[in-house]
Amino acid sequence: MDLLGSILNSMDKPPSINEKERERIKKAKEAMQKQQNKEKEKLKAFREDIEKKINEFEQDETKTKLEFLPNDRIFRTIIHEVAQDADMVSYSFGEEGVDRHIVVYKKQFVPCEDELNALRRGEEWNEEKAKIIAEKRKQEQLEKEEYKKKKVETFVPVSNYQTKYQHLIGLEAAKDAARKTEINKQYGFVPSENKKDSRSIEQTLADIQNKKRMKRTDEIKSDDNVH
């Protein structure tokens, strides 16, 4: 026998599972599988029952909604799925772990947002409450429009210097500045006495041409002196 074989033989072997322990593990697995199958069958039966109820609800033209009893999350998920498959709308109401339940609506009878909010708060909803809320919103809209209208009517634009700059230079000084900048029909916004150049346009153009000729003459003389 070689050295390796000797070492292996000298090592302790792992304890073997006896027949009794093996049987116990087997039974535990079978019990777990049995419980899982039972849960699957329970969920399957629940889905079939929900499908039947929603189908009957769909055929009944006198009903607009179908309310279910409080249920655990997994059962509520099934109700939501079945309702969606039937092209209906479902909402959850109530407190989790207390009275959380689902209500399924036909699409043409889906409640408005106000009704949904009231139901989520645990409040009852009726036509009288709907009228009160509608009237309140109408009044709020009228008040908003009236406020905008009033704001536009009371708006006065700042259009003169005495109002715009009186906080900087004083009221009297602002008035003086405004008087000096009054519109002049002949010259626009600049007073005629402020215009220093009284030449005509023709005279101004002639003077410019003369200046240009004089400049060119000076440049030629300068070049002659250099050479």
- pLDDT tens by residue, 33-87: 999 999 999 999 999 999 999 999 999 999 999 999 999 999 999 999 999 999 9
89 with 195, same domain: the answer is no
- Per the DSSP assignment, residues forming a β-bridge with 184 are 188
CA 140 to chain centroid, in Å, comes to 23
Indicate whether 20 belongs to any domain. no
Q: How far is CA 22 from CA 13, 29, 33, in A?
A: 18, 11, 17
50 with 77, same domain: the answer is yes
Q: What is the CA radius of gyration of the chain?
A: 48
Cβ atoms of 103 and 93 closer than 8 Å: yes
120 with 198, same domain: the answer is no
pLDDT beyond 60 at 226: no
Q: What is the DSSP letter of 105?
A: E
Q: pLDDT confidence of 4, banded at 50, 70, 90?
A: low
142 with 164, same domain: the answer is no
Q: How far apart are CA 131 and CA 112, in angstroms?
A: 13
Cβ atoms of 143 and 151 closer than 8 Å: no
38 with 141, same domain: the answer is yes
168 with 120, same domain: the answer is no
Which has the higher per-residue pLDDT, 120 or 183? 120
Domain count, the chain: 2
Q: Which residues contact 174 (CB under 8 A, 6 or more apart)?
A: 161, 162, 163, 164, 165, 166
pLDDT beyond 80 at 31: yes
* The two three-digit tokens of residue 220, written as one number: 């030629």
Taking residues 120-140, what's their average pLDDT? 76
Return the CATH number at 139: 3.30.1370.50
pLDDT beyond 70 at 92: yes
| Per-residue burial over 148-175, b = 16 or more CB atoms within 10 Å of its CB, e = otherwise | eeeeeeeeeeeeebbeebeeeeeeeebe
Indicate whether 16 belongs to any domain. no
pLDDT beyond 60 at 131: yes
Domain that holds residue 114: 30-148
Which has the higher per-residue pLDDT, 204 or 181? 204
Cβ atoms of 65 and 103 closer than 8 Å: yes
Indicate whether 213 belongs to any domain. no
Which pLDDT does position 119 carry in this prediction?
Answer: 87
Which pLDDT does position 136 carry in this prediction?
Answer: 75
50 with 127, same domain: the answer is yes
Indicate whether 221 belongs to any domain. no
58 with 132, same domain: the answer is yes
CB atoms within 10 A of CB 134: 12
Which has the higher per-residue pLDDT, 161 or 123? 123
pLDDT beyond 80 at 157: no
87 with 140, same domain: the answer is yes
Which pLDDT does position 187 carry in this prediction?
Answer: 47
In degrees, rounded to 5, the angle at the alpha carbon of residue 182 between the alpha carbons of residues 179 and 183 is 170
Taking residues 207-226, what's their average pLDDT? 72
Which pLDDT does position 221 carry in this prediction?
Answer: 64
113 with 167, same domain: the answer is no
82 with 192, same domain: the answer is no
Which has the higher per-residue pLDDT, 15 or 212? 212
36 with 118, same domain: the answer is yes
